[in-house]
Copies of this chain bind each other. A is one copy, B any other.
Amino acid sequence: MDLLVRKLAARDVVPEDEQQALRAAATETVPYAAGEEVVREGERQTVSRLLVSGLIARVKLLDDGRRQITELHIPGDFVDLHSFLLKRLDHDVIAVTPARLVSYPHEGLRKITEQWPHLTRLLWLSTTLDGAGHREWIVSAGRRTAAEHVGHLFCEFLLRYEVVGLGDRRRCPLPLTQQQLADACGLTPVHVNRVLQELRHEGLLEWRAGELTVPDFDRLAQVSRFDPAFLNLIREPR
């Protein structure tokens, strides 16, 4: 919850009473094991979930086994706030690492939309930030080279972890396998491996034991054509 407030506070003021209203809407905290499914595509949802710890992926599957990760969530992210409105998701949500999620029943979220218009707008904002992230991924998949794509994703991670105070632009957690990174980038694990070697040889990054280290963020950002504008890190009234 605190992490969500930190994330929202990077974009607007979050008054104390709204923070309390949010807190009041939460029910239990549920732990998941690595690889466990949190939400299955198409099933009717009655709660949305906020990630407290761990890493979560939204995964879309094609019938012949092809898979694409469409978003990776870090602590402080609502992993399926959109299920409040969509009711049924178009994708699975799975725990990449062990994770803990706090439930927000839709009933309580509905009450928030009836009593807390500004808080409602902040939650709505949170889903539009997801949308902006999606658009950036479309660009990466459509028009960036494999190396730019991987580098861009890493830059995104560093800044998002920085926002919630769990990393900075030099280092952040990145507990993924190369296979999973490939699924996020729409590449082959073999090719991801080659791209990583290239980036490592150029001294742009290190990635070991689930932790990413980038000695010179600006250089990686430049090589990857990374522009942080899509993160909408501007504090103003919403």
Using A85-B124, A132-B86 as known contacts, say yes or no to A141 and B70 having CB atoms under 8 A apart: no
Which B residues are CB-close (under 8 A) to A63?
225
Taking beta carbons and an 8 Å cutoff, which residues of A are in contact with B? 41-42, 58, 60, 62-64, 66-68, 70-71, 82, 85-88, 90-91, 110, 113-114, 117, 120-121, 124-125, 127-132, 134-139, 141-144, 185-186, 225, 229-230, 232, 234, 236, 238
Given A87-B236, A88-B232, A138-B186, 11 additional A-B pairs, CB 8 A: A66-B143, A85-B238, A86-B125, A86-B232, A88-B234, A120-B120, A120-B124, A127-B128, A138-B138, A141-B142, A143-B186
A137 to B141, CA, bound (A): 9
27 pairs, CB–CB < 8 Å, chain A vs chain B: A60-B139, A62-B139, A62-B143, A62-B144, A62-B225, A64-B225, A68-B138, A68-B142, A82-B131, A82-B132, A86-B125, A87-B238, A88-B232, A90-B132, A90-B230, A113-B120, A113-B121, A117-B120, A120-B120, A120-B124, A124-B127, A130-B131, A131-B131, A134-B135, A138-B141, A138-B186, A142-B185
Which B residues are CB-close (under 8 A) to A236?
87
A178 to chain B, nearest CB (A): 16
Which B residues are CB-close (under 8 A) to A143?
62, 66-68, 186
Which B residues are CB-close (under 8 A) to A64?
225
A121 to B71, CA, bound (A): 23
Residue in contact with A138 in the complex, picked from B86, B132, B134, CB distance below 8 Å: B134
The answer to whether A68 and B139 touch across the interface, beta carbons within 8 angstroms, is yes
The answer to whether A141 and B186 touch across the interface, beta carbons within 8 angstroms, is yes
Using A113-B117, A143-B68 as known contacts, say yes or no to A86 and B229 having CB atoms under 8 A apart: no
Which B residues are CB-close (under 8 A) to A138?
60, 68, 70, 134, 137-138, 141, 186
A30 to B62, CA, bound (A): 41
Pairs A-B, 8 closest by C-beta atoms: A142-B186, A141-B141, A134-B134, A90-B230, A85-B125, A70-B135, A82-B128, A66-B143
A38 to chain B, nearest CB (A): 16
A206 to B43, CA, bound (A): 36
Name the residue in A41, A91, A117, A234 with the highest tally of chain B Cβ atoms < 10 Å from its Cβ. A117
Closest Cβ neighbor of A125 among chain B residues = B85
